[in-house]
Amino acid sequence: MDEGQIFYNIKYVKNTSTMPEELLPKELVITFKDDKIISELKGPFGGSGLSTLTNPDENVYDTYFNLISLKYCFEGTSEKVQPGFSSMKGILFIETGEEREILGFNCTKLGVKVPSSDSLRFIWYTDEIKVSQPNRLTPYRAIDGVLLNFFYIMGDTEINFAADEVFVREIPDKTFEKKKNYKKVSSGFLDSLIVKMIAY
Protein backbone atom coordinates (compact mmCIF):
# COMPACT_ATOMS: atom_id res chain seq x y z
CA MET A 1 0.00 0.00 0.00
CA ASP A 2 1.57 3.30 -1.07
CA GLU A 3 -1.42 5.57 -1.67
CA GLY A 4 -4.41 6.44 0.52
CA GLN A 5 -5.58 8.05 3.75
CA ILE A 6 -5.44 7.35 7.48
CA PHE A 7 -7.99 8.80 9.93
CA TYR A 8 -7.09 9.13 13.61
CA ASN A 9 -9.15 9.70 16.74
CA ILE A 10 -7.80 12.29 19.16
CA LYS A 11 -7.74 12.07 22.95
CA TYR A 12 -6.47 14.89 25.17
CA VAL A 13 -4.56 13.07 27.93
CA LYS A 14 -3.52 16.34 29.52
CA ASN A 15 -5.39 19.46 28.44
CA THR A 16 -3.91 22.69 29.77
CA SER A 17 -5.89 24.87 27.36
CA THR A 18 -8.39 27.38 28.70
CA MET A 19 -10.58 26.52 25.72
CA PRO A 20 -13.09 23.68 26.12
CA GLU A 21 -12.19 20.47 24.28
CA GLU A 22 -15.14 21.05 21.94
CA LEU A 23 -13.18 23.93 20.38
CA LEU A 24 -9.88 22.07 20.06
CA PRO A 25 -8.82 19.89 17.09
CA LYS A 26 -10.80 16.65 16.95
CA GLU A 27 -9.40 14.72 14.01
CA LEU A 28 -6.11 13.98 12.31
CA VAL A 29 -6.07 12.92 8.65
CA ILE A 30 -2.89 11.84 6.88
CA THR A 31 -3.02 11.61 3.08
CA PHE A 32 -0.11 10.01 1.24
CA LYS A 33 1.11 9.01 -2.20
CA ASP A 34 4.60 7.52 -2.51
CA ASP A 35 6.84 10.05 -0.72
CA LYS A 36 4.29 12.92 -0.74
CA ILE A 37 2.34 13.48 2.48
CA ILE A 38 -0.12 15.99 3.86
CA SER A 39 -1.02 15.81 7.55
CA GLU A 40 -4.11 17.75 8.68
CA LEU A 41 -4.97 18.36 12.33
CA LYS A 42 -8.52 19.61 11.88
CA GLY A 43 -10.33 22.05 14.15
CA PRO A 44 -14.12 22.18 14.66
CA PHE A 45 -14.58 25.21 12.41
CA GLY A 46 -14.44 25.00 8.63
CA GLY A 47 -10.86 25.27 7.42
CA SER A 48 -9.32 25.78 10.87
CA GLY A 49 -6.38 23.72 12.04
CA LEU A 50 -2.76 22.85 11.44
CA SER A 51 -1.39 21.05 8.41
CA THR A 52 2.00 20.03 7.07
CA LEU A 53 2.84 19.35 3.45
CA THR A 54 5.79 17.24 2.32
CA ASN A 55 6.44 17.14 -1.41
CA PRO A 56 10.10 16.28 -2.07
CA ASP A 57 9.62 16.47 -5.85
CA GLU A 58 8.90 20.20 -5.50
CA ASN A 59 11.17 20.72 -2.45
CA VAL A 60 8.13 21.72 -0.35
CA TYR A 61 8.18 21.15 3.42
CA ASP A 62 5.53 23.62 4.61
CA THR A 63 3.53 24.03 7.81
CA TYR A 64 0.19 25.86 7.51
CA PHE A 65 -1.83 27.39 10.34
CA ASN A 66 -5.49 28.39 9.87
CA LEU A 67 -7.71 30.00 12.49
CA ILE A 68 -10.68 32.07 11.35
CA SER A 69 -9.04 34.88 9.34
CA LEU A 70 -5.43 34.00 10.29
CA LYS A 71 -3.47 32.13 7.60
CA TYR A 72 0.24 31.60 8.26
CA CYS A 73 2.88 29.47 6.57
CA PHE A 74 6.36 28.40 7.59
CA GLU A 75 8.51 27.17 4.72
CA GLY A 76 10.75 24.53 6.20
CA THR A 77 13.34 22.06 4.93
CA SER A 78 13.61 18.28 4.93
CA GLU A 79 16.12 18.48 7.78
CA LYS A 80 14.02 20.28 10.41
CA VAL A 81 11.06 19.31 12.56
CA GLN A 82 7.94 21.42 11.94
CA PRO A 83 6.97 24.17 14.43
CA GLY A 84 4.89 23.23 17.47
CA PHE A 85 7.06 20.46 18.89
CA SER A 86 9.63 22.33 20.96
CA SER A 87 8.44 20.35 24.03
CA MET A 88 9.49 17.07 22.37
CA LYS A 89 13.05 18.05 21.53
CA GLY A 90 15.52 15.32 22.47
CA ILE A 91 13.12 12.37 22.70
CA LEU A 92 14.64 8.88 22.87
CA PHE A 93 13.28 5.57 21.55
CA ILE A 94 13.49 2.21 23.32
CA GLU A 95 12.95 -1.12 21.55
CA THR A 96 10.38 -3.36 23.28
CA GLY A 97 10.37 -6.38 20.97
CA GLU A 98 6.57 -6.36 21.05
CA GLU A 99 4.40 -6.67 17.97
CA ARG A 100 0.66 -6.79 17.29
CA GLU A 101 -1.86 -6.22 14.52
CA ILE A 102 -3.65 -2.88 14.20
CA LEU A 103 -6.30 -2.43 11.49
CA GLY A 104 -4.85 -5.37 9.57
CA PHE A 105 -1.24 -4.12 9.67
CA ASN A 106 1.60 -5.78 11.58
CA CYS A 107 2.93 -3.16 14.00
CA THR A 108 5.97 -2.70 16.23
CA LYS A 109 5.86 -1.14 19.71
CA LEU A 110 8.45 1.43 20.79
CA GLY A 111 8.99 3.06 24.15
CA VAL A 112 9.41 6.83 24.06
CA LYS A 113 11.28 8.86 26.67
CA VAL A 114 10.63 12.61 26.75
CA PRO A 115 13.35 14.66 28.54
CA SER A 116 10.78 16.71 30.46
CA SER A 117 9.07 13.63 31.95
CA ASP A 118 10.01 10.55 33.97
CA SER A 119 7.19 8.53 32.37
CA LEU A 120 7.79 6.00 29.61
CA ARG A 121 5.21 6.32 26.86
CA PHE A 122 4.55 3.93 23.98
CA ILE A 123 3.81 4.20 20.27
CA TRP A 124 3.01 1.71 17.49
CA TYR A 125 4.16 1.87 13.87
CA THR A 126 4.02 -0.29 10.75
CA ASP A 127 6.36 -0.71 7.78
CA GLU A 128 3.59 -2.26 5.66
CA ILE A 129 2.39 1.13 4.42
CA LYS A 130 4.99 2.09 1.84
CA VAL A 131 5.67 5.79 2.38
CA SER A 132 9.22 7.12 2.15
CA GLN A 133 10.30 8.92 5.34
CA PRO A 134 6.74 9.45 6.61
CA ASN A 135 7.80 11.23 9.81
CA ARG A 136 10.53 13.53 8.52
CA LEU A 137 8.84 16.77 9.75
CA THR A 138 7.81 15.38 13.15
CA PRO A 139 9.67 14.47 16.37
CA TYR A 140 9.45 10.85 15.16
CA ARG A 141 11.63 11.47 12.09
CA ALA A 142 14.02 8.65 13.10
CA ILE A 143 11.25 6.06 12.72
CA ASP A 144 11.01 4.62 9.21
CA GLY A 145 7.40 3.51 9.44
CA VAL A 146 3.88 4.92 9.54
CA LEU A 147 2.60 5.66 13.05
CA LEU A 148 -0.79 4.15 13.89
CA ASN A 149 -0.85 4.92 17.61
CA PHE A 150 1.26 7.77 19.01
CA PHE A 151 1.28 11.02 20.97
CA TYR A 152 2.32 14.64 20.67
CA ILE A 153 3.25 17.04 23.45
CA MET A 154 2.58 20.65 22.49
CA GLY A 155 3.44 23.08 25.26
CA ASP A 156 2.10 21.32 28.37
CA THR A 157 -0.74 19.61 26.52
CA GLU A 158 -0.46 15.91 25.66
CA ILE A 159 -2.52 14.48 22.81
CA ASN A 160 -2.91 10.82 21.86
CA PHE A 161 -3.70 9.71 18.31
CA ALA A 162 -5.14 6.29 17.46
CA ALA A 163 -5.74 5.21 13.86
CA ASP A 164 -9.42 4.48 13.33
CA GLU A 165 -9.62 3.82 9.59
CA VAL A 166 -7.16 3.25 6.73
CA PHE A 167 -8.33 3.62 3.14
CA VAL A 168 -6.60 2.56 -0.06
CA ARG A 169 -7.64 5.16 -2.63
CA GLU A 170 -6.26 7.18 -5.50
CA ILE A 171 -5.05 10.63 -4.44
CA PRO A 172 -4.85 13.41 -7.07
CA ASP A 173 -1.41 15.03 -7.42
CA LYS A 174 -2.99 18.48 -6.87
CA THR A 175 -3.62 17.45 -3.24
CA PHE A 176 0.10 17.98 -2.64
CA GLU A 177 0.44 21.36 -4.29
CA LYS A 178 1.76 24.30 -2.29
CA LYS A 179 -1.06 26.36 -0.75
CA LYS A 180 -1.58 29.98 -1.75
CA ASN A 181 -2.52 33.21 0.06
CA TYR A 182 -0.69 32.43 3.31
CA LYS A 183 1.53 34.91 5.13
CA LYS A 184 5.07 33.61 5.54
CA VAL A 185 6.32 33.58 9.14
CA SER A 186 9.31 32.27 11.08
CA SER A 187 9.48 28.89 12.78
CA GLY A 188 9.65 30.52 16.23
CA PHE A 189 6.57 32.68 15.58
CA LEU A 190 4.51 29.73 14.39
CA ASP A 191 5.75 27.48 17.20
CA SER A 192 4.55 29.95 19.84
CA LEU A 193 1.25 30.45 18.04
CA ILE A 194 0.56 26.71 17.84
CA VAL A 195 1.40 26.18 21.50
CA LYS A 196 -0.89 29.07 22.48
CA MET A 197 -3.74 27.62 20.42
CA ILE A 198 -3.36 24.15 21.97
CA ALA A 199 -2.22 24.95 25.49
CA TYR A 200 -3.66 28.31 26.56
For residues 172-177, give the mean pLDDT: 94
Task: Kindly report whether the global pTM for this prediction surpasses the value 0.85.
Answer: yes
Give mean pLDDT, residues 87-112: 96
> Which of left, alpha, beta for 90 (phi over 0: left; psi -120 to 50: alpha)?
left
Dist. CA 200–CA 194, nearest whole Å: 10
Quick check: 115 pLDDT over 90?
no
What tens digit of pLDDT does each residue of 52-84 get?
999 999 999 999 998 878 899 999 998 888 888
Q: How many residues does the chain have?
A: 200
Q: Which domains does the chain have, with CATH numbers?
A: 3-199 (2.50.20)
Q: Identify whether the C-beta of residue 196 lies closer than 8 Å to the C-beta of residue 65.
A: no
